[in-house]
Amino acid sequence: MKAGEDMHVDVLVVGAGPAGLSAAAELRRLGVRSVLVADREPEPGGIPRHSLHTGYGLRDRRRLLTGPAYAGALAGAAAAAGAQLCPGATVTALAGTVATMTSPGGIESVRASAVLLATGCRERPRPARLVPGDRPPGVMTTGELQQRVYLGGQRLPGRAVVVGAEHVSFSAAMTLAHAGARVVALVTEHERQQSYAAFRLGAALRWRVPVWTSTAIHRVVGRQRLSGVEVADVRTGSVRFVPCDTVVFTGDWIPDHELARAAGLAMDPGTRGPSVDTTLRTSAAGVFAAGNLVHAAETADVAALSGRHAARHIAAALGGAPGSRRLPMRAEPPLRWISPNAIAVGAVPPAPPLGRFVLRSREFRHLARLEVRQDGRPLFRSRPVRLIPNRPVRLGAAWLARVDPAGGPVRVVIGGRLAR
């Protein structure tokens, strides 16, 4: 291509993590001729590249892999299928399906027939959580920790505190142990931990890591170096000082949505990612979104299957399938959000990825029933489920056939009580 000329592709995929790479391979399998995958990182694969523990690939690859092996398998599959992978390339702007891409080779304009946003999510760092105090070295997120330890080979001797008690928090504790740290505790404001009991038991038995519940980080202390943190009991307000050399803020995920916002896409206030229907189509014609950009944060294999789902609907759209009207979905408190957050209305409403919707709760509830309603009319009532903050709740989609295409928004409520 000559300098100054536009690049033309059938599909531009922004993000080379599990969702983007899986979508690219699926698009090529479905006969889409030109698929370009752009990612700002120097290598494709996303977060699994620097996550050495096993547990990846069970749902999509049908076997357990370490993070780097999983990332390599996805990148290899996309390249073997004929997708063009462009690491080190950042999409800085998107107008419709025309993107501005910056790379070491310069600035290019990419014109695509369809765009898939698969930019993933990130943990909110300490400043975004408004934790006061000094700004010494040694305060980081799980992503930074894993890059330092697994990509940089850094050792982190001394005492460490992990902020959070969900799945990724226990992963951070394991990484710290590998780096030579002694984890003092996992700290959570909730009344109990939010991961699986096996994770909590493993941390207690293998590394003797306690979980301090109903406890919040009150302040970070230290100037030239971190000396510790002040922690507060959220029930009594009492504060005490805990000496440590490292603090890792985990969880509290937010989608990497800057490009989607700048492109003017409608955003969902609950997920804080772009609003998508059950085909993963956004509010802009020809633009789709998948993976943890639309539901932060699910496991890598769930994100990968979300990418495949989007690819099938992108291929159908490129083949001339008409677009659908969107019927909003709303999750009522104590539910935080639902994804997808709209239904693609058609003769037969398409199912969401994996045939189910994903929800999050703000509260613990031992036995709760999810009820789906439209204009006061019940569509579905689930069996009793457990609600745990930061853990997914899944809602099957068989009831979609009962949705009135001309009706109002579909609401998901708890226990049959419709929020006003």
Same domain flag for 116 and 140: no
Distance between CA atoms of 82 and 34, rounded to whole angstroms?
Answer: 8
Length of the chain equals 420
The Cα angle at residue 282 between residues 42 and 409, in degrees rounded to 5? 145
Instruction: Report the number of distinct structural domains present in the chain.
Output: 3
Q: How far is CA 416 from the centre of its chain?
A: 29
Strands (E) located in 120-256: 121-123, 139-141, 158-163, 181-187, 211-212, 215-221, 228-233, 239-243, 246-249, 253-255
Same domain flag for 306 and 340: no
**Which residue range(s) make up the domain with 343?**
326-420
Last residue of one domain, picked from the residues 188, 220, 251? 251
Last residue of one domain, picked from the residues 288, 323, 358? 323
Find out whether 291 and 299 touch, Cβ atoms under 8 Å.
Answer: no
Same domain flag for 2 and 119: yes
pLDDT at res. 348: 79
Same domain flag for 171 and 222: yes
Same domain flag for 119 and 143: no
pLDDT at res. 60: 94
Q: What is the dihedral of CA 374, 375, 376, 377, to 10 degrees?
A: -50
Kindly give the parts of the chain with pLDDT less than 70: 1-5, 198-207, 347, 416-420
Same domain flag for 14 and 89: yes
Q: How far is CA 391 from the centre of its chain?
A: 12
Same domain flag for 288 and 217: no
What's the token pair of residue 13?
């995929």
Output the domain CATH number for residue 206: 3.50.50.60
pLDDT at res. 198: 64
Same domain flag for 245 and 262: no
Cα distances (Å, whole numbers) of residue 344 to 176, 279, 350, 401, 403: 44, 7, 7, 12, 11
Distance between CA atoms of 169 and 254, rounded to whole angstroms?
Answer: 16
